[in-house]
């Protein structure tokens, strides 16, 4: 592997989540204690759980105790916490939803290696290279989580990072529709007009859907085939690296055959 200077490596996150389906409410419980929460995580059939009435103290306790060895319990991640509303969103990983985001991440990582850049997470500048820095790319996956919930994840990343996250890639597995939906979200800036209490124009950012790809499974063919609509998945270089591409550099492309293979692997895990 050829390593590049840290200043030329994009900071990448391949975190994922899964939750409610389009037609079902996400399983929701009221927080009554850490041990009861752990028991409910072991009982819930899906891989997504909403917990209400979680105070900041409760959240700290959950975060601390979940890191301790739980050999008999299901592993889980703290997906989002809304302190003002006391709502905690928990992801309980499954093989399918892990595959959905890891495959995309590896497809991008492999192109980094082929282009002579490192496959390690880093930052496009010294500030992004520091520990705890926000990524420029986030990949969110959902199996039972609705696309609307994934959109909430997307908005959270842009807002919580103070717009340091530049691309949020969503991948939604829909078993009922025999399809995978891929969405690439970025942000655009607009000039907000002065309001009653302000006299200056201000710059505001809002999320924009740049690309939507649907991969449909066709069981009428032998063997089963996968139809990709809207072309290959494109990840803009300038947003990943926070600079314009130089000579021999360009956007990263996950091709249609690669997306077909991506879907084929996902359905093997159903």
pLDDT at 154: 95
* CA–CA separation, 98 and 17 (whole Å): 8
pLDDT at 181: 98
pLDDT at 26: 75
Contact present, 100 and 94 (Cβ < 8 Å): no
Report percent pLDDT > 90 for the chain. Answer: 55
pLDDT tens figures, 191-219: 666 666 555 666 788 999 999 999 999 99
- Give the residue among 89, 66, 83, 108 at the shortest CA–CA distance from 18: 89
Q: Which residues pair with 49 in a beta bridge?
A: 90
More confident residue, 72 or 267: 267
pLDDT at 13: 59
* CA–CA separation, 103 and 100 (whole Å): 6
pLDDT at 127: 47
**pTM of the prediction?**
0.82
pLDDT at 176: 94
Q: How confident is the model at residue 130 (pLDDT cuts 50, 70, 90)?
A: low
Hey, which bits of the chain come out as E strands? 12-13, 28-30, 48-52, 77-82, 87-91, 137-142, 167-174, 179-192, 202-218, 225-229, 233-235, 252-254
Contact present, 210 and 218 (Cβ < 8 Å): no
Average pLDDT over the chain, rounded to whole?
Answer: 83
Q: How confident is the model at residue 92 (pLDDT cuts 50, 70, 90)?
A: confident
Q: Are strands 202-218 and 225-229 parallel, antiparallel or unpaired?
A: antiparallel
- SS3 at position 5: coil
Contact present, 105 and 141 (Cβ < 8 Å): no
CA 94 to chain centre: 15
- Compute the average pLDDT of residues 155-160: 93
From residue 195, alpha-carbon distances to 192, 198, 205, 207 in Å are: 9, 5, 17, 22
Q: Which residues pair with 192 in a beta bridge?
A: 202
More confident residue, 257 or 20: 257
HSE on the CB side for 72, CA within 13 Å?
4
Q: Is the pLDDT of residue 155 over 90?
A: yes
- Compute the average pLDDT of residues 148-167: 93
pLDDT tens figures, 8-40: 445 555 555 444 444 457 789 999 999 999 999
Domain ranges across the chain? 6-18+94-267, 28-91
More confident residue, 190 or 39: 39
């Amino acid at each position: 592997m050829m390593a590049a200077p840290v200043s030329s490596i994009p900071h990448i996150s391949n975190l994922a989540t899964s939750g409610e389906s389009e037609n079902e409410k996400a399983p929701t419980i009221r927080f009554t204690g850490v041990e009861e929460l752990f028991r409910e995580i072991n009982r819930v059939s899906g891989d997504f759980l909403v917990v209400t009435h979680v105070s900041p103290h409760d959240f700290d306790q959950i975060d601390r105790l979940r890191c301790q060895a739980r050999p008999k319990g299901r592993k889980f991640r703290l997906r989002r916490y809304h302190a003002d509303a006391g709502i905690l969103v928990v992801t309980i990983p499954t093989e399918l939803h892990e595959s959905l985001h890891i495959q995309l991440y590896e497809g991008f990582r492999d192109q980094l290696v082929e282009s002579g850049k490192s496959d390690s997470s880093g930052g496009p500048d010294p500030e992004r290279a520091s520990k705890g820095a926000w990524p420029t790319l986030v990949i969110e996956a959902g199996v039972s989580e609705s696309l609307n919930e994934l959109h909430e994840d997307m908005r959270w990343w842009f807002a919580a990072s103070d717009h340091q996250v530049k691309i949020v890639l969503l991948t939604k597995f829909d078993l009922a529709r025999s399809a995978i939906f891929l969405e690439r979200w970025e942000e655009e800036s607009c000039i907000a007009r002065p309001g009653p209490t302000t006299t200056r124009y201000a710059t505001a950012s809002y999320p924009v859907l740049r690309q939507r790809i649907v991969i449909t499974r066709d069981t009428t063919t032998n063997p089963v085939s996968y139809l990709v609509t809207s072309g290959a998945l494109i990840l803009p270089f300038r947003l990943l690296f926070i600079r314009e591409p130089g000579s021999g550099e360009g956007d990263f492309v996950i091709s249609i055959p690669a997306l077909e293979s991506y879907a084929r692997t996902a359905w093997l895990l159903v």
